[in-house]
Amino acid sequence: MSDGDRGWSADPAKRNSGLVFQSYALWPHMTVRGNVEWPLKVAGVARAERESRTAEVLRMLGIDALAGRYPNEISGGQQQRVAIARTIVTKPGVLLFDEPLSNLDAKLRVEMRTELMRLHRATGATTVYVTHDQIEAMTMATHVAVMNAGRVEQFGTPQDLVDRPATAFVATFVGTPPSNLVPVLRNGTGWTVGGRHIAIEPPQDGALAMFRAETLGLAPASGPRTLPLEMAEVSTIAGRTMVTGLGAGGLRLTAVTEAIPTARVGDTIHLALPEAPSAWFAPTGERIG
């Protein structure tokens, strides 16, 4: 599309790409059929082929019954389908989606995720999808680029991001719930985690220990590898219980357990740490073990 080093840029009409805007950007004075057909008109496609291809994508997106309506006469989800139909009618080789589901309600977003994945399989187009919703990214993508402050922290398959996070940011961003990171600090001849002396050996002072939520447990009382926390949240996730506790210095740990805690929000709970963390990160965020 463009090359800054060589100083050239392909004309937009020759890029063989399509863009679905976050705000749909439908032309309000055109019907659904008119919106979808317009890119073909601009491209100079003959009328018979325009009508055939427009009808085909309207059926593919399940909006053929809305062909004669205007954007203000259809729902947000239907408008999104029109925007997608308009984009794919020219059969682009690359599809770009800019947070296309952010304006939809939660139920419709789930339904549209399925539709977009079906569409991807049907068109075979390479698709680049920008989203702030990690569930969308992890359920839809073959590969994910996790960005932070304009920098790519890690690029890989969804499973790679969960199993082998490359940075502290990825570790605490990806996953439901994401992993816990706790600084391990030297105190005299030993090491402290969350202000308590714990038998642990970090690669360096101040290293961040990563504990996956499913490796933490609820202990009935204080022990040699437990941290006392104030219970902040309890919720059910996939038939298990997610418990979040708060400690001194802004410490926040989440555990996924089989048992439902008897404590209430505000009570003190004791989270038990495993024998060793799942990974280590330097204080600056890069993975070191």
User: Residues 155-214: pLDDT tens digits?
Assistant: 999 999 999 999 999 999 999 899 999 999 999 889 999 989 999 999 999 999 999 999
Q: What is the pLDDT of residue 280?
A: 97
**For the CA atoms of the chain, what is the radius of gyration?**
25
CB-CB contact of 138 with 97 (8 Å)? no
Residues near 127 by Cβ (< 8 Å), separated by ≥ 6? 94, 95, 96, 97, 120
Does residue 106 register a pLDDT over 90? no
Over residues 200-218, the pLDDT tens digits come to 999 999 999 999 999 999 9
Question: What is the structure's pLDDT at 109?
Answer: 87
Instruction: At 210, list the tokens.
Output: 């990563």
First to last CA, the chain: 39
Is the link from the previous residue into 177 a cis peptide, with omega within 30 of 0?
yes
Contact 218, 243 (CB under 8 A): yes
DSSP state of 273: P
pLDDT tier, 270 (very low <50, low <70, confident <90, very high otherwise): very high
CA atoms of 210 and 183, how far apart (whole Å)? 9
Residue 25's nearest CA partner among 82, 95, 89, 110 is 82
Pairwise pLDDT comparison (103 vs 129), residue with the higher score = 129
Location of structure tokens 């977003």:
109
Answer yes or no: pTM beyond 0.85. Answer: no
List the chain domain ranges: 2-141, 177-281
Secondary structure (3-state) at 261: coil
Q: Under CATH, which number does the domain 177-281 receive? A: 2.40.50.140
CA nearest 166: which of 133, 210, 130? 210
Region 268-272: what's the mean pLDDT? Answer: 95
2-141 and 177-281 in the same fold = no
Distance CA 223, CA 199 (A): 12
pLDDT at 102: 85
pLDDT at 90: 92
64 burial level (CB within 10 Å; 0-12, 13-18, 19+):
middle
CATH of domain 2-141: 3.40.50.300
- The residues pairing with 255 across neighbouring beta strands, listed in sequence order, are 243
Q: What is the pLDDT of residues 108-150, one digit of tens each?
A: 888 889 988 988 898 889 999 999 998 899 999 999 999 999 9
What is residue 49's predicted lDDT score, i.e. its pLDDT?
A: 96
The string of pLDDT tens digits covering residues 212-262 is 999 999 999 999 999 999 999 999 888 899 999 999 888 999 999 988 888
Average pLDDT, integer, range 271-275: 94
Place 15 in a pLDDT band, splitting at 50, 70 and 90.
confident
